[in-house]
A and B are shown apart, each in its own frame.
Chain A
Amino acid sequence: MSDRGREGHRSAPSYSFGATYMDACEEALRCGDRKVGNEHLLLALLRDSTCRDSLGVDLDAARRALQAMDEDDLAAIGVDARQCDAPPLAVHLSRFGAKLPLTPSAKGALSDTVKTVGRRGLSPRHLLRQLLARSDADVVSALVARLGVDRLAVIARLQEV
């Protein structure tokens, strides 16, 4: 499929979710997950400067927050993970020729983004907006709250970009 001839378009001419998905796989494997969830998509999007700027958070901070959230959640059920020496996994993506499946919710976020924006003008910030607009129960909501991000304000800002 060629995207040439659309250079005049405002967004990156040939952005599709491929690269974001691969980065999200890496994030999932790093955490020790077997599926790519919304939180991994969010981490993947932090490689994009527009997304990073609109959230005001960088990848390292977000990874640390996710880890800290795990530790808090585990502490709440009586597991002290801070005592465990179990660092994030060193990921060699080439090792995992097999791609990780998406969670149903992540699949929904991707397809809703395409539904809303269409394939032509797609850019990372559209996916970011969709991820932030998922339910309050979503792990992304908990994560960005933890990072002190005003979710609704970012959603509004992303609409203007």
Chain B
Amino acid sequence: MSQDPLQGLRAVLALRRLAERLEAQQVAHARERGLSWQQIGDALGVTRQSIHTKYGRNAP
């Protein structure tokens, strides 16, 4: 590891942000392809409810 330590630390946060945005993108894609909330929740290792609450049309 030769890079600037600050840049390396910023990259950790950048990766978390990327993961968050990627999740939203992939969930939307899965819904378009007809996957159920149950299937999406299972794939992400969370409950159907929690994924639906986060991304469903009627999200609070």
Question: Does A85 lie at the interface of the complex (its beta carbon under 8 Å from any beta carbon of B)?
Answer: yes
- Which chain A residue shows the least CB distance to B19? A32
**Minimum Cβ distance to chain A for residue B39 (Å):** 21
Q: Known contacts A74-B11, A77-B11, A137-B6; is A31 also within 8 Å of B25 by CB? A: no
Alpha-carbon distance between A159 and B22 when the two chains are bound, in angstroms: 42
Interface size on B, residues (CB 8 A): 21
Within 8 A of A (CB), among B5-44: 6-8, 10-11, 13-22, 24-25
The main secondary structure of chain B at its interface with chain A is helix
**Minimum Cβ distance to chain B for residue A83 (Å):** 11
Task: Judge whether B8 and A76 touch: CB under 8 Å.
Answer: yes
Within 8 A of B (CB), among A17-51: 31-34
Q: How large is the interface on A (under 10, 10 to 19, 20 to 34, 35 or more residues)?
A: 20 to 34
The contact string, 1 if C-beta is below 8 Å from chain A, for chain B 41-56, is: 0000000000000000
Q: Known contacts A32-B17, A84-B18; is A95 also within 8 Å of B60 by CB? A: yes
Task: Judge whether B11 and A79 touch: CB under 8 Å.
Answer: yes
CB-CB under 8 A from A150, the residues of chain B are none
Task: Judge whether A76 and B21 touch: CB under 8 Å.
Answer: no
Residues of chain B having any CB pair with chain A under 8 Å: 3-4, 6-8, 10-11, 13-22, 24-25, 59-60
Residues of chain A having any CB pair with chain B under 8 Å: 31-34, 69-74, 76-77, 79, 81, 84-89, 92, 95, 97, 137, 139, 142
